[in-house]
């Protein structure tokens, strides 16, 4: 499928999504992706997590092109 | 032949690497699941001076992962017990023992005497506190944390243009957002692995070996044995949230910043106690030990939303639970219902009352 992106999820985010990876229709940008995820998985709304695009952290709304990998990276506190 | 022969003969490490370790000092904050393996390997490798900071005492439920301690150590302070173990084992390391928790008051003094700091703590407020102190003092910080079957490791604040924890996580999360080990469980091997990765990073930094995880964070999943590495970049917004003087640092309330809820010690809570203050146990029925005193209300967290009316008339409310996590959740829940009330959570819950 040419219009999909790959999602990698970690920690509580993976638990909430129910999987550590999934394919999604490309929403076009990281903000749009977040909104889409919040709609699909409301439990994510109360969580803080960082996003990485092809293994590089992004700090603001960023365009996502087809076939890219987005990682959803929550903080861990345990020790 | 000395005890370091096998690493000294390693190409790239050599006598120079060993000499660097010997003259180095490391402060390990937290001697728990991560701290135990970190200490074991730093001591075995011959780091010259090691400091241990931990105000906690050994509990039976720690023993599946905190491998420095045994059944005979229950109730003893972790920093002191760990140091005693090593003092018998090796004669060539200088130990500094701090049987206390790191706070905004003692952080500067604690970290100033060491070349490198390792964060093996177990909660968000302390992780931000340690990070900010290391940025202020310009100390490299080896970071590691775990959640269930996953771990993350990085090296912050190392040399020029280095990232720190706030670049990775600019928004401070609440502990109550993410359950800790005591709520979600952990296999002892995971902190063993993550702690070893942290010890390895520390040894790499100190002996100038290989490529430390500077501006990178490594994720490890113990169920799939997969790793995932992400590049971090500096974030000007997050740099601004770090206090720029020690005075500003000491004025920070990291728990309040993370949780949005002011936390009190039992002493502070006792001083507040009067007729107008509601004092609420949010543990479920049957949790031990029970606490009985006049005026104490028992509202299990699971029933709080249905019993909000019982707290309607109180201006100030003090919540406590077993370990201090559920009481934060209760406080957050109540704060949403009554934004104008003064609501507090007692730090460490009943467990802290027992040890204080």
Q: What's the structural domain count of chain A?
A: 1
Q: What is the pLDDT of residue B74?
A: 96
B127, closest residue in chain A (CA to CA): A77
Q: Which of A55-59, B43-47, B162-166, B332-336 has the lowest mean pLDDT?
A: B332-336
Distance between CA atoms of residues B182 and B165, nearest Å: 24
> Interhelix angle for B189-207 vs B14-22, to 10°?
110
ipTM: 0.96
Q: What is the pLDDT of residue B334?
A: 92
Which residue in the set B33, B35, B219 is minimally distant from A10, CB to CB? B219
| Contact present, B161 and B198 (Cβ < 8 Å) | no
In DSSP terms, A7 is beta-bridged to A22, A70
Which residue in the set B145, B177, B231 is minimally distant from A57, CB to CB? B231
User: How does pLDDT run across B39-93, given as a tens digit for each residue?
Assistant: 999 999 999 999 999 999 999 999 999 999 999 999 999 999 999 999 999 999 9
- Are the beta carbons of B221 and A59 separated by less than 8 Å? no
The percent of chain B in helix, strand and coil, each rounded to the nearest 5, is: 40, 20, 40
Distance between CA atoms of residues B52 and B86, nearest Å: 12
* Domain of A61, in residue numbers: 4-73
Is residue B256 in a domain? no
| Contact present, B322 and B347 (Cβ < 8 Å) | no
pLDDT higher than threshold 70 for residue B293: yes
Distance between CA atoms of residues A41 and B118, nearest Å: 35
Residue B71 CB burial class (10 angstroms; 0-12, 13-18, ≥19)? exposed
Q: Please indicate, yes or no, whether residues B28 and B135 belong to a single structural domain of this protein.
A: yes
pLDDT higher than threshold 70 for residue B179: no
Q: Please indicate, yes or no, whether residues B165 and B220 belong to a single structural domain of this protein.
A: yes
| Contact present, B344 and B263 (Cβ < 8 Å) | yes
Distance between CA atoms of residues B78 and B101, nearest Å: 11
Distance between CA atoms of residues B18 and B24, nearest Å: 10
Q: Please indicate, yes or no, whether residues B159 and B240 belong to a single structural domain of this protein.
A: yes
Q: Which residues of chain A are within 8 Å of residue B39 when distances are taken between CB atoms? A: none
Q: What is the pLDDT of residue B348?
A: 87
* Domain of B306, in residue numbers: 261-355
CA distances for B233 relative to B55, B219, B238, B353, angstroms: 34, 17, 11, 42
**Among B229, B251, B273, where does a domain finish?**
B251
Q: What's the structural domain count of chain B?
A: 2
**Among B188, B218, B251, where does a domain finish?**
B251
The CATH number assigned to the domain holding B326 equals 3.40.250.10
Residue A32 in contact with partner chain B when CB distance is under 8 A: no
CB atoms within 10 A of CB B239: 15
The CATH number assigned to the domain holding A66 equals 3.10.20.30
| Contact present, B216 and B201 (Cβ < 8 Å) | no
**Among B225, B251, B277, where does a domain finish?**
B251
């Amino acid at each position: 499928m040419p219009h999909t992106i790959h999602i990698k999820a970690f920690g509580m985010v993976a638990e909430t999504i129910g999987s550590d990876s999934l394919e999604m229709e490309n929403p076009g940008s990281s903000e749009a992706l977040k909104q889409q995820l919040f709609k699909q998985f409301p439990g994510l709304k109360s969580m803080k997590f960082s996003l990485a695009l092809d293994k590089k952290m992004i700090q603001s709304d960023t365009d996502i092109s087809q076939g890219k990998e987005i990682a959803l990276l929550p903080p861990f506190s345990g020790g | 032949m000395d005890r370091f022969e096998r690493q000294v003969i390693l190409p790239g490490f050599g006598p120079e690497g060993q000499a660097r370790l010997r003259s180095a000092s490391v402060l390990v904050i937290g001697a728990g699941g991560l701290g135990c393996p970190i200490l074991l390997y730093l001591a075995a490798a011959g780091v010259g001076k090691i400091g241990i900071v931990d105000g906690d005492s050994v509990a039976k439920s720690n023993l599946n992962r905190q491998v420095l301690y045994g059944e005979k150590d229950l109730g003893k302070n972790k920093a002191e017990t760990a140091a005693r173990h090593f003092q018998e084992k090796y004669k060539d390391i200088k130990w500094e023992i701090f049987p206390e928790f790191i706070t905004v008051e003692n952080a500067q003094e604690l970290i100033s005497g060491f070349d490198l700091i390792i964060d093996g703590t177990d909660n968000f407020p302390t992780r931000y506190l340690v990070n900010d102190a290391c940025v202020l003092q310009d100390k490299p910080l080896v970071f590691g944390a775990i959640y269930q079957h996953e771990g993350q490791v990085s090296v912050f604040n190392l040399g020029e243009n280095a990232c720190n924890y706030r670049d990775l996580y600019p928004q401070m999360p609440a502990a109550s957002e993410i359950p800790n080990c005591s709520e979600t469980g952990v296999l002892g091997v995971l902190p063993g692995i993550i702690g070893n990765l942290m010890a390895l990073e520390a040894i790499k930094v100190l002996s100038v070996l290989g490529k430390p995880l500077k501006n990178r964070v490594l994720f490890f999943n113990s169920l799939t044995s997969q790793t995932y590495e992400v590049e971090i970049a500096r974030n000007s917004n997050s740099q601004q949230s770090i206090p720029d003087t020690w005075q500003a640092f000491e004025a920070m309330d990291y728990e309040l910043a993370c949780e949005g809820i002011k936390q009190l010690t039992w002493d502070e809570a006792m001083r507040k106690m009067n007729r107008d203050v509601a004092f609420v146990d949010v543990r479920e029925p049957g949790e031990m030990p029970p606490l009985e005193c006049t005026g104490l209300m028992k509202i299990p967290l699971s029933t709080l939303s249905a019993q909000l009316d019982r707290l309607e008339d109180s201006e100030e409310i003090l919540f406590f639970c077993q370990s201090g996590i559920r009481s934060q959740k209760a406080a957050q829940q109540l704060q949403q219902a009554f934004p104008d009330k003064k609501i507090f959570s007692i730090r460490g819950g009943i467990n802290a009352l027992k040890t204080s």
